[in-house]
Each structure stands twice: as structure tokens, then as C-alpha cells.
Structure 1
Amino acid sequence: MEMEKRLTLELRNKKPSEVKELVLDNCRSEDGKVVGLSSDFENLEFLSMININLLSVSNLPKLNKLRKLELSDNRISGGLEVLAEKTPNLTHLNLSGNKIKDINTLEPLKKLPNLRSLDLFNCEVTMLINYRESVFALLPQLTYLDGFDADEQEAPDSDPEADGDALEDEYENGEEGEEEEDDEEEDDLDEEVIDDEEDEDDDLEGEEEEDGVDDEEEDEEEDGEEDEEDEAEEEHPCGVKRKRSLEDEGEEDAEDEEDDEDD
């Protein structure tokens, strides 16, 4: 895919001034030059042109806000003075896999005061004796070369500023999360207390209902017995009276017998 067509696709109906990041990897540039980019991309901060057959960056437009430039796996061998003119605020430059052979080829990068990271993996210049010491001496503003500083300490995966913002956001989110968790725990405790109180009330009501049922059953049993007696009297009044008379006569005979024995 040609570079201009790729640019049109990446814009997605946006204006060039609205674009902050632009990736044009693996498209083919015409004549080994940058084509289609203009100074209308005034807010561009990240530009990636990996493996697009670049021979030169001479056609690069003025991009004052550009900070990161990816140019790996091309055929650039020099002409880096253009970067100092067109991208004065560059902080990260990746020239890995290009045709950089001499330390002196990197000298124009001294005019990039904000350059902090430079990658030259798979360039012939990395085979030179004292390569790292020479580059750090040539570019004193540089912090990381090929991912490591002058003391062989590895570079972080991202910008410290970005990491700081991310940590701050994470800390704030963590505090908010803790507050939410505390609120949830308090709500849960309140709900548990309410549930316990409701359970106690239910238990008390259940006990009262059981007591009420027992009392009702006892009352019903007593009433049932009385009713049975009353019914028996109603059904056989004579029999009951006769029974009572016989009992009275028996008692009188017993008393008479006692009196005769005494005599």
C-alpha cells in the first residue's frame, strides 16, 4: 500500500491537526522518501514509519510537537540533520536496523536538546569498539542507548511522567475503591443487624404463637371434657340421678351397718 493511501485510511475523516499519533508501518514510500505528511499535522506527538523502505528523512515536514519517532528497519544512512531542524522537541528516536555505520553520522543529533532515548540495534555502528562510551560522549543529553543507560541500567517500559500519572490515578482509584468497600461493609453490617433483629422478632412471634396455640389446645380439651359431661347428663338425666341415688343409699346402708356393730 502506498504511503498516501495509508495516510488517508489512518485519518478516518479527521483533520490532520486533530491527530496526535500516526502509524504508517509496512507501507511503501515512493522513491524512499516521506510522502503525504505535511506541517498540517501540527499536534502530532508520535510517528511510526517502520519498514517503509525509507532512504532519507529529507521530506519530513516541520513537526514541533513530535516527541517519539520510529524509523526502524529502513535504509537510512545519514542526513539526520533534518531531524534537528524539523523535530526540535524529539525525546525518543529509533533507528534500529538502518545503515548507520559511523559515530560521526550521529553528530547532528547533538542539536536535539531533549533527546533522551536512542536505539541503534542491528546497525553496523554498534560493532565499533567503545561504541556505547563514544555515543554517550557525543550526545551528553542522552539517558538511554539501546534500552540501557551508561551504567547498564535498563530503561523503563514507558515514560516516568506517564508512569507517575498512572500511579497517581491508580492511587486515587485505590482510595476510592477502599472507601467504596468500607461503605459496602458498613451497609452489609447494617443489613446483618437488621436481619438479626428481624429474625429475633420472628422467633419471639413464633414462640408467642406456639404458646397461644398450646393454650388454645388446652382450653379446647377442657371445654371438650366439660361438654362431654354436659352432653352425657343431657342424654341420660334419669340414669345420672339414679346413679347418684344408689350411691347415697349405699352410703346410708354402710352407716347403718356400723351402728349395728356398735350396738
Structure 2
Amino acid sequence: MININLLSVSSLPKLNKLRKLELSDNRISGGLEVLAEKTPNLTHLNLSGNKIKDINTLEPLKKLPNLHSLDLFSCEVTMLINYRESVFALLPQLTYLDGFDADEQEAPDSDPEADGDALEDDYENGEEREEEEDDEEEDDLDEEVIDDEEDEDDDLEGEEEEDGVDDEEEDEEEDGEEDEEDEAEEDHPCGQKRKRSLEDEGEEDAEDEEDDEDD
């Protein structure tokens, strides 16, 4: 909420999970106790460019135990003697004031804690995506295996049907060959001679029977 002519933060909604609040370049001069009620887990607060004049105006921020970075650039309070020492004494939970710690060491460009949370979220999201991709790959592999098994079953059934057809054709061919051989034997001269000899033997047997009857 930067440079929107705010006079106070009394209308701020309840934001328990809020960690960073930007209120720079407004017209806030007090009423900071609302922050302890509405945003109890703040870690970063930027009030630079507002109308804060006294150290005591900052006293309600003592109720923000997680606050470790406070910016008051361009506020009149920064012109007071021993300003930094007084603020660090009033708010012992602070690590950085106006971008520097109590030993005048500059704060890092980014918040390691916030970045760590973001990295952890990215890592968890990445793990979830990898697990989903692995599950999809496993599903695809299972489908391929099932398709391969079905294809093999179809091939086996097709081969069995072909074998059955081939066996029937072979049996029919063998029967046809046997019939042809029988016909060939009958048509062959030897076969005809055999047939005649059987007929002659039959006639001789008939004559012998007649002779026996005459006797």
C-alpha cells in the first residue's frame, strides 16, 4: 500500500499470515497498535516517507515478536539524536533498521528466510510434478505391456487357426492321394489281371459245386 495517501492503518483487515507490509510514502503519524492486532506475524515493515516524529510512536511495535526489519527513511524521527540506538533499545527483536543492523552491517538484498520458504515451496511443487510425471510414465508403460500381451494373444490365436486349417488341408490331400492310388491300381494292368483271376476262381468254384450236385 505505497503512496495511497493513507492517514492510518485502522481499516486494515485481519491478516494473520502476512509477513511483509509496505506502507511507504503515506501520511501515517501513529496508531501502529492496530498492526499488532491485525498483522501479528509481520517480519518486515516499511514506514518510510510517513509523518512519524517521536520514538514513542513506535512503541506498539514491541508487540510484533517476529519483526526483524523496520524502515523509517525520510521520517522526521530519523533526525533525532541517538535515533538508531534508541530504536534498537525499544525494539530488541529488530535485526535491521533502515537496511543496517546495530553494527552497521548492511542487510542482504533478499530475505533468506522468505527465499528459503519460496525455494521449499518450489522444491515441493517440483517433487509433486515429478511424481505425477512418473505416475503417467508408469501408466503408459502398463498400457503398452497390456497392448503387447493382447497382440501376442491375438498372434497366437491366429497361428493356431492357421495350423488347424493347414492340418485339415493336409488330411484332405492325403485322403485324395489314397483315393487316386486305389483308382490307379484298378486301372493298372496288374490290377486288372488280379481282378480277372479272382473272377476265374469264382467260376471254377461254381462248376465244382454243380459237379457235386450231379454226383
- Please, what TM-score do these two structures have when normalized by structure 1? 0.45
8 Å CA contact retained: 2:44, 2:67 = yes
8 Å CA contact retained: 2:186, 2:192 = no
8 Å CA contact retained: 2:27, 2:50 = yes
1:247 matched to 2:199? The reply is yes
CA deviation profile, 1:50-103 (whole Å, cap 9, x unmatched):
000000101111110010000000000000000001100011000000000000
What is the CA-CA distance between 1:131 and the residue it aligns to?
0.1
What is the CA-CA distance between 1:157 and the residue it aligns to?
1.3
Alpha-carbon distance change, 231 to 107 in structure 1, aligned in 2, over 3 angstroms: same
Distance 1:147 1:261 in 2: 151
Alpha-carbon distance change, 121 to 190 in structure 1, aligned in 2, over 3 angstroms: same
Q: Give the 3-state SS of the residue equivalent to 2:77 in structure 1.
A: helix
Q: Which has the higher contact order (CA 8 A, sep 6+)?
A: 2
What is the CA-CA distance between 1:161 and the residue it aligns to?
2.4
8 Å CA contact retained: 2:3, 2:23 = yes
Query: Alignment identity in percent?
Result: 97
What is the CA-CA distance between 1:137 and the residue it aligns to?
0.1
Gaps of at least 5 residues in structure 1 are 1-48
In terms of fraction of residues, the more helix-rich structure is 2
Q: Please tell me the root mean square deviation across aligned C-alpha atoms, in Å.
A: 10.2
- Please, what TM-score do these two structures have when normalized by structure 2? 0.55
Larger Rg over CA atoms: 2
Distance 2:87 2:129 in 1: 47
Moved more, 198-207 or 129-138: 198-207
Alignment coverage as a number of residue pairs: 215
Alpha-carbon distance change, 199 to 137 in structure 1, aligned in 2, over 3 angstroms: same
Runs of 4+ displaced beyond 2 Å: 161-263
Q: Give the 3-state SS of the residue equivalent to 2:115 in structure 1.
A: helix
Q: Give the 3-state SS of the residue equivalent to 2:150 in structure 1.
A: helix
Alpha-carbon distance change, 99 to 249 in structure 1, aligned in 2, over 3 angstroms: farther
Gaps of at least 5 residues in structure 2 are none
Alpha-carbon distance change, 260 to 233 in structure 1, aligned in 2, over 3 angstroms: same
